[in-house]
Amino acid sequence: MLARTAVLQEIWGDDSFFNGRSLDVFITRLRRYLKDDPQVQIVNVRGIGYKLLC
């Protein structure tokens, strides 16, 4: 499981609103790219971040 703030800090160096929205777009595109593989799924964990299920 990855905390949203940890992802933002690692990629962009801060967790401002603008970068948060960029992360949302990136996750949406990544989900679209992975949609053909039923074994891979990215799940939102409310209040924490994201979880990759394989």
**Is pLDDT of 15 > 80?**
no
Q: How many CA atoms lie within 13 A of 20 on its CB side?
A: 7
Amino acid at 17: F
**Is pLDDT of 24 > 80?**
yes
User: Which comes out higher in pLDDT, residue 45 or 11?
Assistant: 45
**Is pLDDT of 43 > 80?**
yes
Q: Where are the domains of the chain?
A: 2-53
3 contact partners, CB below 8 Å, separation of at least 6: 48, 49
Query: What is the model's pTM?
Result: 0.71
Q: Cite the beta strand spans of 1-54 per DSSP E.
A: 2-3, 41-45, 49-53
